Structure 1
């Protein structure tokens, strides 16, 4: 899906990544980032967020929390991150981003709360229950400040991915606010959910989920109770073209992730302001039984679309030509992706060592892939800035 968009909208990136691989400067099994495009995308998102009066926090987990990605985002004007877990918080903090939001989607483990408060002092900290609020407040008190707490809320009919459930009952939000205000070291600052926006396959558009209406109702209840300064955090499927709608619904915060590298589902359907800025690159290892086996390790293809014919550009030279496209069988999620299998029975047969480039929406942080940041592509001067693992830590490749 995304490979077609990459070939059409950012072919120089594809060819630069292939050239670097052919020269032995980046490894197989790597998510490669066009840092120039990331910076430009961040600038577009930040300018629109400012126009709509939204605070903006960058999500980095999809591209393995890469330090060079964080720095490109900062050059684009976004200076804060949302940390999906403590690993994200550590990586983005080390890269120079301020931790703007901690605790959502993943709560902070009990024995890490004091360290999180002392080291990161997040602007906002999401809690799913009173016990987690007390832990966050205790950490903040020990660090000498008062922590802004966001209550994750839920209501009947809201949409959650399986395994993402949890939070306070939205109908009790006024009492929840009072309880969080009573937490020593903490104060109630607002409400959050996920996802607030979601791609709809039938209409091929991004639509509000019931969760966004739940946030709006909860905000109105809080205002009626006399609370006027309420943060409304509304993440999910964030492109710059959707921020006006979020602001109109009452959101005060947005958290682009895939939007920063042009890989929301909507980016396949429409040419949005953000350019595609990530690809997955590997190489052919061997041939067997009519298949060319390419190295895996990064084949977590985020299942936002129904199954489709996955293709790759397979070549021994940089190209985006349609003639270089071959179908690929990806191992099922139940299997370890040591290899993927490229069709080798057609007229153009892959060779051992050929470069293979994929375009899909990945989640690099749950893989064992490298993450490679490349600058200078827009100027025709590509330079590898970083080769890291999914925790934003340097890898001593090829040693």
Structure 2
């Protein structure tokens, strides 16, 4: 679905990926990023967030915490990251971003609290329980600092992805705030949930979840107890067009991820201000029967849409023409994606060595793909800025070469 948008709104990215791959300058099995578009998207998003008084923390996991991607965000005015876990925090910090938010999607493990407090030094640190609050506060106290702690809250009727559950009861938010303030090294900073917004397949719109109303009610309860000026963190399916909904609900923080490279579900259906800025690049390996097999490793398509026909541009010369499109079957999530299988009955006529370019909403950090940052696409002079693994490291590609 995103390939159609890419062919129309950013065909130069597809063409640059093919050209650089065919020159041997970038590897197959790679998420390729248009850094010019990323910088523009970040600048646009930051301006819209500033108008509404929203702090912006960038989620970088979907593109493997690529350092050139992080640098493009900083140039666009987004200089803080939200870390999905400690590995993400380390990679983003190494790339020069400050850590705005830590511990939300994945809590900080017990024995990693000390290095988090000492080295990562996040602006905000989310905790799900009194035990986790005490660990964070004690580690921060030992590091000689007072840490702003966010309480993840939840109540009956809130929704979570399976395996993401947890948090303080929203009804007890005042007691949770008092408990956190009583910890040496800790300070109650605010409340959070996830997801606050979700894409609805039936209406094809982004809608608030019950969790967002829970945040609003909890903030009112805190205000009634004399706690004003707290932070309200409301992540999920964030693009610039949903910022009014967050601000109206009282949010003070937002955390765009796919929005910064134009791959939220809504980007596939409407022309939002952010341009699509990422493709997945593969290469035809071999033929078998009526199919051409292309290298996998990064073929994880985030399942925000019902199953649909996956297509790719298959070519040896830069192109986005209809005749270069081919249907591709990718392995189900239960299988390891060593290869994707390209239908050879169409006009594309794949050959071993051809470039294969997909457009989909990915999650590079759960794959074994490379990430590649390309600058200069907007000026017609694409240059490779970075080739990294999913931890933002550069060790693997030079060794292969």
Is 2:314–2:348's contact at 8 Å kept on the other side of the alignment?
no
Q: Which residue of 2 aligns with 1:207?
A: 207
Give the 5 Å matches for 1:7-18.
7-18=7-18
Matched length? 399
Q: Which residue of 1 aligns with 2:231?
A: 231
Matched, 1:314 2:314: yes
Q: Which residue of 2 aligns with 1:92?
A: 92
* CA distance in 2 between partners of 1:347 and 1:121 (Å): 55
2:206 match: secondary structure: strand
Is 2:325–2:348's contact at 8 Å kept on the other side of the alignment?
no
Q: Which residue of 2 aligns with 1:396?
A: 397
Q: Which residue of 2 aligns with 1:114?
A: 114
The superposition leaves residues 65-101 of structure 1 with CA deviations (integer Å, 9 ceiling, x where unpaired) of 0000000000000110000100110001001100000
* CA distance in 1 between partners of 2:393 and 2:247 (Å): 36
1:317 match: secondary structure: coil
Q: Which residue of 2 aligns with 1:252?
A: 252
* CA distance in 2 between partners of 1:301 and 1:202 (Å): 20
Matched, 1:145 2:115: no
Q: Which residue of 1 aligns with 2:21?
A: 21
1:250 match: secondary structure: coil
Runs (4+) of structure 1 exceeding 2 A deviation are 345-348, 395-399
2:47 match: secondary structure: helix
Q: CA deviation at 1:396?
A: 3.0
Is 2:324–2:347's contact at 8 Å kept on the other side of the alignment?
no
| RMSD of aligned alpha carbons | 0.7
* CA distance in 1 between partners of 2:19 and 2:329 (Å): 25
* CA distance in 1 between partners of 2:245 and 2:298 (Å): 34
1:275 match: secondary structure: coil
Tell me the TM-score normalized by structure 2.
0.99
The superposition leaves residues 120-157 of structure 1 with CA deviations (integer Å, 9 ceiling, x where unpaired) of 11000000000100110111111111000000000111
1:38 match: secondary structure: helix
* CA distance in 1 between partners of 2:153 and 2:223 (Å): 16
2:397 match: secondary structure: coil
The superposition leaves residues 363-387 of structure 1 with CA deviations (integer Å, 9 ceiling, x where unpaired) of 0001000000000100111010110
5+ residue gaps, structure 2: none
* CA distance in 2 between partners of 1:299 and 1:282 (Å): 9
The superposition leaves residues 193-242 of structure 1 with CA deviations (integer Å, 9 ceiling, x where unpaired) of 00000001111110000000000000000000110121000000111111
Give the 5 Å matches for 1:272-291.
272-291=272-291
Q: CA deviation at 1:345?
A: 2.5
Q: CA deviation at 1:347?
A: 4.5
Give the 5 Å matches for 1:10-89.
10-89=10-89
Matched, 1:384 2:384: yes
1:396 match: secondary structure: helix
* CA distance in 1 between partners of 2:280 and 2:164 (Å): 27
* CA distance in 1 between partners of 2:23 and 2:372 (Å): 15
Matched, 1:270 2:256: no
* CA distance in 2 between partners of 1:136 and 1:129 (Å): 11
* CA distance in 1 between partners of 2:113 and 2:19 (Å): 45
Q: Which residue of 2 aligns with 1:123?
A: 123
Is 2:279–2:358's contact at 8 Å kept on the other side of the alignment?
yes
Tell me the TM-score normalized by structure 1.
0.99
The superposition leaves residues 94-119 of structure 1 with CA deviations (integer Å, 9 ceiling, x where unpaired) of 01100000001000000000000100
